[in-house]
Chains A and B, each alone.
Chain A
Amino acid sequence: MATFSLLVTANPHSSQGQFSAIQFAKTLLHQGHVIKRVFFYADGVLVASRLNCPPSDEYNLTKTWAKLAITHDFELTACVTVAMKRGIINATEADRNALTGENIDPAFEISGLGQLTEAMLESDRLVTFG
């Protein structure tokens, strides 16, 4: 049994990377490995918005990540610097920056790149999907 962390930088709306990352995550969990954390960076953070609203006949990446993380007890972390730029905001940041609302899906958290560094150091493998 190995511990994985994933770094996901792919834009959920314009590339395949998030789908690949989810498929990879499901496969490794099925094999009995564990995930410590999935860290979202660059356009990857866009998947953390709870307002993502794909047509009903398309896969909801946000909800799929959320369900997977809750079922298998791992963390979904979006990088604060790039998330804020792209309008992915939690309640704390909304308050701190005098914004009118938050939009992060409750299964995700916003944090710093230190969480990526920690994931790298505490996992057997880090795989990037961009």
Chain B
Amino acid sequence: MVVRIDLSSLPRDKQGYLTDSSLWNEAVAMAISQEEAIELTEDHWQVINYVRRFYEEFNTSPSIRPLVKYLAKEWSKEKGNSIYLHLLFPDGPAKQATKIAGLPKPARCI
């Protein structure tokens, strides 16, 4: 049983990204994912954990291409592809997964 979190008590930017990633925990992830209308499954959690690992290892939020490559290398070929990620995070895997993982949003390039 996870304690419900009041998101309004957390420092976030206008787009909903945590401004202090040290405040992140699983309950925060659940609350943000609810806002994003995503019901977190085991598959989501695995991606979220890898996204956090990516950030820890490279000190930057991943964009989609390196994320896919990272997952394919570290996790599994079947799940390291963008179609799979888009099914889990329909609004954009890099954008949504980093938000739920409590990380800064990936730098925009478009």
Contact = CB atoms under 8 A, between A and B. Distances in A.
A98 interface: yes
Interface in A71-130: 80-81, 95-98, 112-114
Interface stretch (B1-9, B65-73, B102-110): B102-110
B14 A97 contact: yes
B15 interface: yes
Contacts of B107: 81
B14 A114 contact: no
A30 B18 CA distance: 51
A55 B107 CA distance: 36
Interface residues of B, number: 7
B25 to A, nearest CB: 25
B107 to A, nearest CB: 5
What 9 pairs between A and B have smallest CB-CB spacing? A112-B109, A112-B110, A98-B14, A81-B107, A113-B109, A114-B110, A114-B109, A112-B108, A96-B14
Given A96-B14, A97-B13, A98-B14, 13 more contacts: A80-B108, A81-B107, A81-B108, A95-B14, A96-B15, A97-B14, A98-B13, A112-B108, A112-B109, A112-B110, A113-B109, A114-B109, A114-B110
B85 to A, nearest CB: 21
Contacts of A98: 13-14
Nearest to B15: A96
A18 to B, nearest CB: 25
A113 B110 CA distance: 7
A97 B19 CA distance: 12
Contacts of A80: 108
Contacts of A114: 109-110
A71 B93 CA distance: 42
A112 B15 CA distance: 18
Contacts of A96: 14-15
B60 to A, nearest CB: 12
